[in-house]
Every structure is written in structure tokens, then in C-alpha cells.
Amino acid sequence: MTEQVPQKADPESLQHAAEVAAVLAVLQSGPPLATATRAISVVLKAPGKLVLAVLAGILKYKPGKKSPIGGTRPEDAAKKGNRRYRAAYLINAIKRLAEAPDLKAALAREKTLFTAHKKASTRRIEAAKTSGKLSDITGNSTLGWGGVLDNRTTPDCRWLIGKNYDVANPPEGLHPGGRHPKCRCFPAPPFPGKPVVTTLPAQL
């Protein structure tokens, strides 16, 4: 039994998804820095100097077409997802800089945020690997979403714990242990009679 949770397709989220797809396409094609800067500036309607500051100063952008990520392992899907997260980070960083009263201080803060972003990327891949290993051991493509329930449990993890998920299609592409910093969730054998969830409620 797969549980599909209704999602709200609000205009703002649809616009963000379109921006992520467009920026991702630029990053994947790997044009020269000046070309990438102009293209992303047009997509986001943002000043070129801010786009350049993030591309060159934070991401250390290097031209060159990105190779497709092959493979069917959970960690391969996580790596593909990380490319989307990288595009989303770039967009959000540019918007934060545009709103900052002190650009120099904002750039310094972005370096800290980018370090956290890279750690999150690693965590998502490791969580996917853990799911894949348990799936191999148990022979199940469906696993249970385990975790710790206490006053530190986040609303999304609280909702997921005790349900099942598809290793090839986890909720929002994220595996237990990889949803957020210090996530204490973990993959477990499937819970009999519990639904297989692929999405989360729009509001928790």
C-alpha cells in the first residue's frame, strides 16, 4: 500500500523549481565563467556581480561539461539529487546577498553556509548507502523508517517514523539519517501493515 500525500503546487514553489532546473542546466553544461554568470543572471534577474561572487568566490566554479551520473544504486540517485541541491543553494545564496545590507559580511557568512551545504551533501550520500546495504541484506526494496522519538525530533521525521519507504524512491529523495543535520533516523526492516510513503504533507 503506497500512500500519496496531496501536495500544494503554489506559484512560488513552481517558480523556484523552474529556476533550479534552469540553473542546473547551466551548471551541467559547464560553460566558461563569464557565460555561466550571464546565463544565471538572466534566469534569476539578478545582478551579474552577485552571481559572479557566488560562482567564483563561494562555489569555486570550474568550466567543463559535467558527466551524467550513471548507476542504479541509492547513492547514485543521491548524487543526482545533490546536483539539484547545489543549484538551489546557488539561487538562495544570490538572493541572500541581494538582500544583505553589508555585502562583505554576507559573503563571509555564505562561506560558512556553503561548508554546511557540502556536509549535507555528504550526509545524504552516506544515508543512501546505508539504505542500500540494508536492502541488500534483507532482500527488501521496501524498508521501515526508524528513528528516535523525543522532544528533539523534527516534525517531518516524527511523521515518517514507523512508516515504510521505497529505497529507490524515498520521500523527497532523502533517506533516513540524511534529512537534516544531526538526523537520528535510520533504515529498519519494513513495518508490517504500515503504508509506503513517497511524499510528505504540505504542512506538518
- What rounded mean pLDDT belongs to the chain? 92
Residue type, 3: E
Q: How far apart are CA 111 and CA 95, in angstroms?
A: 15
Which residues partner with 166 through β-bridges?
142, 169
- The whole-number average pLDDT for the span 97-117 is 96
pLDDT tens per residue across span 113-149? 999 999 999 999 999 999 999 999 999 999 999 999 9
Residue 172 near residue 200 (C-beta atoms within 8 A): yes
pLDDT attached to residue 9: 47
pLDDT attached to residue 4: 43
Task: Provide the pLDDT confidence category of residue 16 given band limits of 50, 70 and 90.
Answer: confident
pTM of the model: 0.86
Residue 143 near residue 165 (C-beta atoms within 8 A): yes
- Of 11-20, 122-131, 153-162, 164-173, the one with minimum mean pLDDT is 11-20
Q: Is the pLDDT of residue 203 over 50?
A: yes
Q: Is the pLDDT of residue 7 over 50?
A: no
